[in-house]
Structure 1
Amino acid sequence: MKMQRKNFMIIMFTNFLVAGSTTMIMPFLSLYIESLGTYNEEYVQRWAGLVFGVTFVAALIMSPVWGRIADKYGYKPILVINGLGIAISIYLMGSAGSVHELFFIRLFMGLVTGFIPTSLAFVSSQTPKEIAGRTLGTLQMGSVSGTLFGPVIGGLMADTFGFQYTFIITAVVIGTAALLVLFGIKEVKHVKTKDAHVYARKTIIQGILHHRLLINVMVITSLIQIGTFSIQPLLSLYVSHLVEGSTQVAFLAGITFSATGVGNLLFARRWGRLGDSIGYEKVLGFLLILAFVFIIPQAFVTELWQLIALRVLFGIAVGGMIPTTTALMRREAPVEIQGEVMGYNTSFRFLGNIIGPMFGGIVSGFIGIPSVFIVTGLLFVISFIFLKYTLKRPEQDFEDVLLEQELKSM
């Protein structure tokens, strides 16, 4: 128990470092692209979107691969590889000579962007099922804290030291996190018996597709991310309309961005604990409705304080969704393939991260920014309907589904 607590504290701290460091570069990414040459505004905006999005595309593809490797060799080596890989990528970003070089560096970064999802899977694998929700909710506090402070610190560092030194400092911090895992974590590997079943990748994919609860929760995970990310690129513009004439738009937009994280930070552990006691499906359903209730009014605010208050409440709702869905995966998936199953769930999350900003941009282009809150709010209702429909169907044991699919493919 003492070793598990030490592992947890190190993972939580390194999550804070990694999440904070990777978000540090976000506020000035488009400005950095602008500094690489003489480009017009349209060119910079287009490439900023491509450079930002390509990381998630590569991560979407690689997440199940890292999960399968982790099932075989353990989570610790993957955490170290991911941490060092991200550190190297960010260091190289500081020496990019063109936008195209930066694009390919970010592509490489996507191949190793799995530190935080892998850490969730690691802690989940070392945690008893009955307290998984509470533990994962507590763990999320580390990454959320990092994303709250990261953008602010990154902006200040870029202004003080310049872009290149900020990249170097960021890389050193993430490299330190990887070394902390390497020398501080002791992983208890699950010993497989000689007759332990080994499932082919095809069987696992087919099993997920035929297990109603798992596939629907993964789809819901994507919809949650679309709903969360669709407004993010537009939020600063929305804030500027609410505080028209203010000279502190960037600062006020930063506060509005952070508001969601504050709500997330306050309640993630509590939702996880509640899921442990009454069931993850019940908590997830309640949170989906709560998110809908808190996101719709954001379309009709007339003052910034109203938006900030609603963003905090929205953060309270979405803060419990990731630990709840992760704990649900932990409960359903056999321990031998847990990493790969969670890898597919992470891929669905990254898919939502990719679609969300594009979806929000298209909706706002046709019917305005306020409508994005309404349309994405409907996604949470659709997710709730998916979940309720699934829970009305007969329960399935995932191992039985896997064996059935294996027999079919023979």
Structure 2
Amino acid sequence: MAYSWKRNLAVLWTGVFFCSTAYSISIPFLPIFMSADLGVTDRLEIWSGIAFGITFLASALIAPYWGSLSDKYGRKPMLIRSGFSLAALYLLSYFVVDPYTFLVVRVLQGLLAGFVPASIALIATNTPEEKTGYALSVMATSGATGSIIGPLIGGVVSHYYGNRNAFLFSAAVVLIAALIGTFGAKEQNFNRSAARSHVRDDMRQAFANRTFVILLGLVALSTFSVMILEPLITVYMLEMGVDRSSASLTSGIVFSAVGIATVLMAPRWGKIGGRIGYGKVLLIGLVGSGLGNILQFFVTDFIGFGMLRFGYGLFYAAVLPAINALIVQVTEPDFRGRAFSLNQSSSQLAMMAGPIIGGLLGYLLDIQWVFVINGAALLAAALLLWFRGKGILALVSKASGPRTAASSAGRIRPMDRN
């Protein structure tokens, strides 16, 4: 069968959907699981923040190593390694009986993660240049769809069958993702004779590319602004008066509001980015989602809160796909695997810091004020792009008009940029 980038996109979309679903299944009930099943009764917000964040710290530290291996041996082997490892670790979570062992399992999940960034890198390097922005926007809907279904599954399963059984669902779902990646994904554009790079050299090459460094900073800031709320929304539902017996289900629905908005808008933002430039789309997304978060400070019932989360998601849907498309433009093809691994490291460090700081802030402040901090971080990212990212805006404006930003990617020499 001839290689088809569309078939590859469909296969990897499905794989990332299942992997994202597996991860997000545990989000709504994790604080309740630590309280009811693992015996955490004191400083639950802090424990929840650490349990969320420690996985991402481990993933951030190991990601450059996996990126170096992916550029040497291929992105598909990284899919297979990560998928089957995570399936085993989710299964192991079912048997955990104390919080310290649970933290160890969460660390291992971070060290062996990488299915989603490997899929994104594979799409970025095996899709025609003029279709890359569209393909990456479509991939964004995959993770978002998983973030819709996962919390709903997690909320329903934990509510009716118990928290532990939700981990069994996660194990089964991520195993499906691993099988899809193993038998369905194709990697064509890959130089197997290339020498494996050293992480130190990769870091030196990355930091020589100022535009790429700015994009990494934007990834970290925008991701941090989202993750700061991850350990707090279920607790916030309880503060709004939602009954504890239905808190997991209610918070699962609220979590899903952002995912629904992303599914609806991400492909549209991808098409808009092809016309006006991904830098402008990124700026619009950061400003809109920042203001949307600040408005959540004024809502005190979970229905209005869910509606505002949906509105915020409509704008945030533009952010990460635009950044991924810009990374493709400003990096050389033989550096893409490492570029997306460094992108993962930046994102994972923010994912680590966000829940921990969010847990601390939730312990010290009214949770409503965290929404203000959340929105301010996104607006700070927009200011960073406006004042320090002129090269990004100039790049996409030059590529707009008769050509899209993605279609000019082949003419860009990223190391020549200031």
**Do they superpose with TM above 0.5?**
yes
Q: Does 1:398 align with 2:414?
A: yes
2:311 to 304, 313, 316: 313
Aligned to 1:405: none
Aligned to 2:405: none
Aligned to 1:215: 213
Kept after mapping to 1: 8 A contact 2:147/2:255: no
Aligned to 2:80: 80
- SS of the equivalent of 1:232 reads coil
CA distance in 2, matches of 1:244, 1:172: 30
Change (3 A) 1:370 1:158: closer
Change (3 A) 1:361 1:177: closer
CA distance in 2, matches of 1:255, 1:28: 12
Change (3 A) 1:168 1:255: closer
Structure 1 counterpart of 2:357, one-letter code: F
Aligned to 1:135: 135
Kept after mapping to 2: 8 A contact 1:21/1:150: yes
- SS of the equivalent of 2:378 reads helix
Q: Post-superposition shift, 1:131? A: 2.3
Aligned to 1:407: none
Q: Does 1:264 align with 2:279?
A: no
CA distance in 2, matches of 1:257, 1:23: 9
Q: Does 1:331 align with 2:347?
A: no
Give the TM-score normalised by structure 1: 0.87
Q: For residues 224-373 of structure 1, what are the structure 2 equivalents within 5 Å?
A: 224-243=222-241, 249-373=247-371
Stretch deviating more after TM superposition (304-313 or 249-258): 249-258
Aligned to 2:17: 16
Structure 1, unmatched stretches of 5+, are 403-410
CA distance in 1, matches of 2:112, 2:266: 26
Q: Post-superposition shift, 1:75? A: 0.8
Q: Post-superposition shift, 1:28? A: 3.5
Kept after mapping to 2: 8 A contact 1:222/1:348: yes
Aligned to 2:103: 103
Structure 2 counterpart of 1:16, one-letter code: F
Q: Post-superposition shift, 1:56? A: 0.8
Q: Write the deviation string for residues 231-259 of structure 1: whole angstroms up to 9, x where unpaired.
A: 23222344444457898554433322221
Q: Post-superposition shift, 1:314? A: 0.5
Q: For residues 10-89 of structure 1, what are the structure 2 equivalents within 5 Å?
A: 10-34=11-35, 39-42=39-42, 46-89=46-89
CA distance in 2, matches of 1:97, 1:245: 26
Change (3 A) 1:249 1:179: closer
- SS of the equivalent of 2:101 reads helix
Q: For residues 191-210 of structure 1, what are the structure 2 equivalents within 5 Å?
A: 191=191, 200-210=198-208
Q: Write the deviation string for residues 15-60 of structure 1: whole angstroms up to 9, x where unpaired.
A: 11111122223333344445666x3501665544333322111101
Q: Write the deviation string for residues 317-374 of structure 1: whole angstroms up to 9, x where unpaired.
A: 1112111111111111111111111111111111111121233344445552222222
Kept after mapping to 1: 8 A contact 2:72/2:195: no
Q: Post-superposition shift, 1:167? A: 3.0
CA distance in 1, matches of 2:126, 2:148: 27
Stretch deviating more after TM superposition (131-140 or 27-36): 27-36
Change (3 A) 1:301 1:84: same
Change (3 A) 1:157 1:309: closer
Q: For residues 159-178 of structure 1, what are the structure 2 equivalents within 5 Å?
A: 159-178=159-178
Stretch deviating more after TM superposition (341-350 or 370-379): 370-379
Aligned-residue identity in percent: 27
Structure 2, unmatched stretches of 5+, are 396-411
CA distance in 2, matches of 1:291, 1:31: 29
Q: Post-superposition shift, 1:206? A: 2.3
CA distance in 2, matches of 1:303, 1:56: 31
CA distance in 2, matches of 1:366, 1:308: 24
Q: Post-superposition shift, 1:5? A: 1.9
Aligned to 1:406: none
After superposition, the CA RMSD in angstroms is 2.8
- SS of the equivalent of 1:220 reads helix
- SS of the equivalent of 1:107 reads helix
Change (3 A) 1:173 1:301: closer
Stretch deviating more after TM superposition (77-86 or 389-398): 389-398
Q: Does 1:376 align with 2:374?
A: yes
Kept after mapping to 2: 8 A contact 1:333/1:341: yes
Kept after mapping to 2: 8 A contact 1:130/1:276: no
Kept after mapping to 1: 8 A contact 2:159/2:246: no
Stretch deviating more after TM superposition (315-324 or 271-280): 271-280
Change (3 A) 1:35 1:369: closer
CA distance in 2, matches of 1:160, 1:360: 29
Q: Post-superposition shift, 1:272? A: 1.5
Structure 2 counterpart of 1:325, one-letter code: I
Kept after mapping to 2: 8 A contact 1:210/1:401: no
Structure 2 counterpart of 1:209, one-letter code: F
Kept after mapping to 1: 8 A contact 2:294/2:375: yes
CA distance in 1, matches of 2:321, 2:187: 21
Aligned residues: 399
Q: For residues 181-196 of structure 1, what are the structure 2 equivalents within 5 Å?
A: 181-191=181-191
Structure 1 counterpart of 2:304, one-letter code: Q
